[in-house]
Amino acid sequence: MPRRKNRRVPDTFNAPAVAPIAVPDSGARHPVTSHDVARRAGVSQSAVSRCFKPGGSASAKMRERVRRIAEEMGYTPNAIARSLITRRSNLIAVLISNLTSLYYPEVLSELSNHASAHGERILLFALPQESDVDQTIDQVMQYQVDGVIAAVRLSREQVESFKRRNIPVVFFNRYLQDVPVNAVCCDQVDGARILVSRLYAAGHRRFGVIAGPKDSVVGEERVHATIARLNEYGVRQVQVVRGGFDYESGRRGLRELGKLAQRLPQVAVCANDVMAIGCIDAARYDLKLRVPEDLSVVGFDGVGPSTWESHRVTTIRQPVGRMAEATLTLLMDRIANPGLPPEKRILAGQLIEGKSARLG
């Protein structure tokens, strides 16, 4: 008869020893606990616990013996139980969307790497189209995560509710207007200025912009900074069409730019690389133009395919690895010391000259 927990009923009551319900013996085998190990090793349960704690006080002899016995019995500490008492789940929620884009998977990958380095696991909340956030937030709370990395838009109220529960949040490449929050971003303004400067220096004067969706802070920054810089150069007429950050909208975007003015612009500034790629393809295959001879196209992000020989996109590459590293540092600091004030870290992007634009 398989042993059950040893402190359930006073022994006198053990008489009617009938299995309560026909237990399907296959699956119901309970896992080995520290109590089991303790009994087998002839030590207390707390001793076992200490043997598995890095700094725990236990003689080398006992430690070795207990760990060996634990190993034999197939014991693994229960992280859930530990979290309950330590109030530390070692879980970090990553709120992310557009996992099918080219950019976010790289972000997630880097976040995961750096999280592991800090001994944290990632609880993934992949939101379909940045929606459903409220219900998701509730889930995040329930799991008692140590912290949150938000690569999606959050409302002020949502941020507040995390703060109320003392759960630190770090935004990735976005932030909240008028509310001090932790954030790690790539400097879009500077990137846009560099691109425009080099394009202007090459003699380009007619600019078109393929923007991202209105609700993308990053996208809007890129577009505004581009236009602002052009204005500084005295270029006032800038045609803008809107896309959705995807290939097709980049492709459609160029055709729309053609319709807006009588003539096509000399440059298409696209709010991300994927649209730039779509735009390049539209130029070549739809409009039979040469890139960059007849049209310069630039993007943002520096995603993998932007380096393919077929496109060689001129772009501002985000230092995603560094950004992820900074994100985790920021977050872990806040977890260790909840009193720290909000902080933004703005990392510079890097110009990748590519071959899709003539630069001066």
Report the interface residues with DNA, using CB under 7 A. Answer: 4-5, 7-9, 20, 30-31, 33-35, 42-47, 49-50, 52-53, 57-59, 61-62, 75-78, 81-82, 84-87
> Does 235 contact a second copy by CB under 8 A?
no
CA distance 353 to 355: 6
Q: Could you say which of DNA, a second copy, none residue 62 binds, taking C-beta under 5 to 8 angstroms by partner kind?
A: DNA
Which is nearer to DNA, 54 or 341 (by Cβ)? Answer: 54
- Unique residue bearing structure tokens 């872990």: 332
Interface with a second copy (CB under 8 A), residue from 11, 157, 293, 309: 309
- Unique residue bearing structure tokens 């020893």: 17
**Does the bond joining 2 to the residue before it have cis omega, within 30 degrees of 0?**
no
Q: Could you say which of a second copy, DNA, none residue 203 binds, taking C-beta under 5 to 8 angstroms by partner kind?
A: none
Q: Could you say which of DNA, a second copy, none residue 125 binds, taking C-beta under 5 to 8 angstroms by partner kind?
A: a second copy
Which is nearer to a second copy, 47 or 102 (by Cβ)? Answer: 102
Q: Which two tokens stand for residue 150?
A: 């938000």
Q: At what angle do helices 320-336 and 104-117 cross, to 10 degrees?
A: 40
Which is nearer to a second copy, 204 or 312 (by Cβ)? Answer: 312
- Unique residue bearing structure tokens 């008028």: 178
> Does 284 contact a second copy by CB under 8 A?
yes
Which is nearer to a second copy, 221 or 256 (by Cβ)? Answer: 256
Please, are residues 319 and 349 in contact by the beta-carbon 8 Å criterion?
yes
> Does 121 contact a second copy by CB under 8 A?
yes
> Does 285 contact a second copy by CB under 8 A?
yes
> Does 59 contact a second copy by CB under 8 A?
no
Nearest CA to 271 among 103, 100, 96? 103
Q: Could you say which of DNA, a second copy, none residue 247 binds, taking C-beta under 5 to 8 angstroms by partner kind?
A: a second copy
CA distance 319 to 323: 6
> Does 247 contact a second copy by CB under 8 A?
yes
> Does 108 contact a second copy by CB under 8 A?
yes
CA distance 318 to 278: 20
Which is nearer to DNA, 54 or 203 (by Cβ)? Answer: 54
CA distance 292 to 8: 78
Binding region for a second copy (CB under 8 A) out of 9-17, 105-113, 194-202, 230-238:
105-113
- Other C-beta atoms closer than 10 Å to the C-beta of 254 total 28
CA distance 310 to 294: 16
Which is nearer to a second copy, 29 or 214 (by Cβ)? Answer: 29
- Chain centroid to Cα 351, Å, comes to 23
